Amino acid sequence: MRLLIFVLMMLVFAPFFVLAMIGYIFKLWVFNIPKGISGTAYEPFMARMIMHEAGTRPDESAVRLAPHLPALSPFIAWVFGGMGVAARWCGYRGAIFDFPGTRPSTMYSVVAHRTDFFDRMFAEATDPGGEHLVRQVVVLGAGWDTRVYGSFEDDGVGDDGGVSDDNVRFFEVDMPPTSEAKRTALARAGISSDHVTFVETDFNQKSWFQAVTEQGFDPALPTFILWEGVNMYLDDEAVEATLRQVAHLAPGSRIAFDFMSRELVRAEPPFVWLGRGAKFGIKFYGERWLFGISTLAPARDHVDRLVTSQGLELAKFEPMGDDRDGKVPWGGFALAVCRG
Ligand SMILES: C[S@@+](CC[C@H](N)C(=O)[O-])C[C@H]1O[C@@H](n2cnc3c(N)ncnc32)[C@H](O)[C@@H]1O
């Protein structure tokens, strides 16, 4: 019944949705991609914004930031966010913006699973009372990620987890056009970013480590690296170099990352058709996947081998999809820690 009401609401909403989609694609291709600003950063961002509106995962900063991003506008953000509002009004929870979604994750819940995985790793690293508290957080390929803003900009240590605790320093690293667009959007949205150091670099050309160190990063302090939705756009050498660099950070340092199945990235069995579809979808944004880790059973072993070969230890692995009974997941989520 709830699904039926939701579908009826979506039908009423359809003309607005079509207009918003046209506006989004136009702005993406005219004002965003030609300037070198990330296009792929919008999908996970909008999913988080819609989850907020659906009442499943709070992210007030995403809602405030959305109207100011180059490919969005107040109208486009209102329409996309409206899908979440509709789901909340009719109590429908089976949609893609449910949170934290089902496990093993499905095609519908995979974005929620990804968001939930990084939320958990981030909270663990920044919990002032936790045993894994770090002194620095580096968000690599930050895109429109809002984890270090919002409720965290108000008071520092306290009820919200104390992420803006003066003892923790935050760095957001991205390509110059995306980083610049984000700073402009944050300022227009009135979101304070004084506690964040923005670092501009292209990982394929200059090491992120060198770039953040030039901006005051201290490799002697325990650090959490959040690397969400990024390594698939890098070459093998850039990915391995990143893991190696984390292995040389202070004891207690860790990196959380997701990865796509190498079989999917290369459109090889069992993902020939899915891989071709994904390639087409990514091309829409003018980008392409380069890196993947095999997820042929047992999937965990492949990521374990990679991080171990770069001097890290695999502390956590969750399949993106189902890896039970020899099934091949689409990718995975991993936490690798310094051995030190
Ligand atoms: C799919 S988006 C993910 C954004 C964000 N982490 C999230 O999950 O919402 C990929 C991000 O990685 C950045 N990126 C991709 N290749 C990069 C490179 N070679 N150097 C620096 N940043 C890069 C893009 O600009 C974009 O912001």
Does any ligand 1 atom lie closer than 6 A to the CB of residue 145? yes
**Which amino acid does the sequence have at 10?**
M
pLDDT in tens, 185-229: 999 999 999 999 999 999 888 899 999 999 999 999 999 999 999
The one-character DSSP state at 1 is: -
What contacts 288, CB < 8 A, 6 or more positions away? 233, 279, 282
Which residue is associated with the tokens 């207690």? 252
Please name which of 223, 249, 237 lies closest in space to residue 339, comparing C-alpha atoms.
249
Question: What DSSP line would sit under 141-210, residue for residue?
Answer: T-TT--TTSGGGGTSSSSTT--TT-TT-EEEEEE-HHHHHHHHHHHHHHT---TTEEEEE--TTTS-HHH
Q: Tell the residue nearest (CA) to atom 20 of ligand 1.
A: 202
**C-alpha to C-alpha distance for 219 and 215, rounded to whole angstroms:** 12
Rounded to 5°, the CA angle 206-247-113 comes to 85
pLDDT in tens, 223-240: 999 999 999 999 999 999
Q: What's the gap in Å between 188 CA and the centre of ligand 1?
A: 22
Q: Tell the residue nearest (CA) to atom 25 of ligand 1.
A: 38
Which atom from ligand 1 is nearest to the alpha carbon of 227? Answer: 6
174 or 339, higher pLDDT: 174
HEC string for 300-333: HHHHHHHHHHCCEEEEEEEEECCCHHHCCCCEEE
**C-alpha to C-alpha distance for 45 and 146, rounded to whole angstroms:** 9
CB 254 within 8 A of CB 338: yes
CB 212 within 8 A of CB 173: yes
Does any ligand 1 atom lie closer than 6 A to the CB of residue 178? yes
Q: Is the pLDDT of residue 263 over 80?
A: yes
Does any ligand 1 atom lie closer than 6 A to the CB of residue 45? yes
Q: What is the pLDDT of residue 150?
A: 62
**C-alpha to C-alpha distance for 88 and 71, rounded to whole angstroms:** 26
Q: Is the pLDDT of residue 165 over 70?
A: no
For the chain, the structural domain boundaries read 2-89, 110-338
Q: Is the pLDDT of residue 3 over 50?
A: yes
Q: Is the pLDDT of residue 160 over 80?
A: no
pLDDT in tens, 56-115: 999 999 999 999 999 999 999 999 999 999 999 998 877 778 999 999 999 999 999 999
Q: What is the pLDDT of residue 151?
A: 53
Does any ligand 1 atom lie closer than 6 A to the CB of residue 32? no
**C-alpha to C-alpha distance for 336 and 225, rounded to whole angstroms:** 10
What contacts 131, CB < 8 A, 6 or more positions away? none
Q: What is the pLDDT of residue 166?
A: 64
Which residue is associated with the tokens 């923005």? 198
Average pLDDT score over the chain: 93
If one residue of 119, 233, 234 were mutated to test the ligand 1 pocket, choosing by the most ligand atoms within 8 A of its CB, it would be 233
CB 252 within 8 A of CB 221: no
CA 168 vs CA 15, 148, 177, 196, 305: distances in Å: 46, 11, 26, 10, 31
Q: Tell the residue nearest (CA) to atom 11 of ligand 1.
A: 141
pLDDT tier, 156 (very low <50, low <70, confident <90, very high otherwise): very low
Which atom from ligand 1 is nearest to the alpha carbon of 40? Answer: 1
Q: Is the pLDDT of residue 158 over 70?
A: no
Q: What is the pLDDT of residue 317?
A: 98
Which residue is associated with the tokens 């099934």? 327
What CATH class is the domain 110-338?
alpha beta
Q: What is the pLDDT of residue 132?
A: 81
Range 159-186 average pLDDT:
82
- Percent of the chain scoring above 90 in pLDDT: 84
Three-class secondary structure of residue 77 per DSSP: helix
Q: What is the pLDDT of residue 209?
A: 96
**C-alpha to C-alpha distance for 230 and 237, rounded to whole angstroms:** 14
Q: What is the pLDDT of residue 122?
A: 96
pLDDT in tens, 14-54: 999 999 999 999 999 999 999 999 999 999 999 999 999 99
Q: What is the pLDDT of residue 137?
A: 97
